[in-house]
Amino acid sequence: MSVALPFSILARDGAARRGRLVTAHGAIDTPCFMPVGTAATVKAMRPEEVAATGAQILLGNTYHLMLRPTAERIAELGGLHRFMNWPRAILTDSGGFQVMSLAKLRDIAERGVTFRSHLDGTLYSLTPERAVEIQHLLGADITMALDECTEFPVTPEAALASMERSMRWAERSKDSFTRRPGHGLFGIVQGSVFPVQRLKSVEALTGIGFDGYAIGGLAIGEGQETMLMVIDATVPALPEDAPRYLMGVGKPGDLVAAVQCGIDMFDCVLPTRSGRTAQAFTRRGTVNLRNARHGADPRPLDPDCACPACKNYTRAYLHHLAHAGEILSAMLLTQHNLTYYAELMAGLREAIELGALDDFVAAFEAQQAEGDLPALA
């Protein structure tokens, strides 16, 4: 167990774990889902509303915040927690994925990555040392080592070279990290869809030693079956006494399956991005509020949900807001989606505590398979 970032496992059910991670800004109950606040805000939400959904930790991003307003400015203003009025824990992604997916004319070399900003074309350099420095300036409770997010599809040879570079970067990230109570550094397992490479990556990272271990480079086109195969091959090799974080995976069914495999932490833009496009996640599956069948429906979106959208508004009103392009549509549906994700995680934690995870998963799958409420006659 890390002294700087204590993690305890409170209950188990099969490979699944119910745990608690203690940071400088509060405890995090796991399994947990981290809403994404990429640029120091969860889009369409006030921090108080995010907290009301049950979220105990947010994700911020090195790439976006180094471009604007800059980590140095945020540090001058008291750090990211104060800057965005979020007194709870924050994990910051190191920017490796964004460099792959957003940056222009990137050049990856042993020293680090050079890229042009997607905003204005300005040339930047991001090294493992600089990525850790930025996250320190931000005041992140959990810092991520800089890695290269391997593209998919990829040849085994290219994946191996990418993974080995990430492991060298991981060691440099560790050497650059300033240890202090309540703050920790996570390493990131790479190796694309090749189990042997994933295990070599785990061996390298555990040899270096981190406070937690993330599985990166998934949910980028490989499909659920392959993703779960990689997770199944990787998780048993990870340290039992450290948190396990599956990066960028966010469909409800994927979360449930990954918890069964032993994953503790998740993040994804899916619930917030979907909220801005009138897509809601419910106990009975995904609902598109733009569909005409909701236009005169006086019922709530999800009768078992306690969020403001479900307690105070009808499907007909949410349908109207979506078609009218009103900002309130994004606000209400984002809050609903984050509430659903938080409640799903809470249900998983309770099921693990009770030793009833299989029953919970069976009920979850049956209800999802039923589909949305039928339209009123």
Residues tagged active-site: 93, 267
Q: Can you tell me the distance from the alpha carbon of 238 to that of 247, in angstroms, rounded to the nearest whole number?
A: 15
Q: Six-digit token pair at 173?
A: 């990230």
What is the rounded distance in angstroms from the CA atom of residue 240 to the CA atom of residue 229? 19
22: left (phi over 0), alpha (psi -120 to 50) or beta: beta
Evaluate whether 215 touches 184 at the Cβ level (below 8 Å). Answer: no
Give CA–CA dist 192/362, Å, rounded. Answer: 30
Calpha distance 40→69 (Å, rounded): 10
For residue 285, list its beta bridge partners.
282
Task: In whole angstroms, give the CA distance from residue 258 to residue 228.
Answer: 7
Element (H, E) at 128: helix 128-138
Maximum CA extent, the chain: 65
The rounded distance, in Å, linking the Cα atoms of 213 and 257 is 18
C-alpha distances (whole Å) from 182 to each of 3, 72, 91, 179, 225 are 9, 22, 12, 9, 36
Rounded to the nearest angstrom, the gap between the alpha carbon of residue 377 and the centroid of all alpha carbons in its chain is: 40
Q: Which amino acid makes up residue 237? A: A
Task: Please give the distance of CA 100 from its chain centroid, rounded to a whole number.
Answer: 17
Residues 6+ away with beta carbon under 8 Å from 104:
115, 116, 117, 118, 121
How many beta carbons lie within 10 A of that of residue 75, not counting itself? Answer: 16
d(CA 25, CA 88): 5
Return the amino acid letter for 350: E
Q: Specify the pairing of strand 16-23 against strand 7-13.
A: antiparallel
How far, in Å, CA of 89 to CA of 360, rounded? Answer: 28
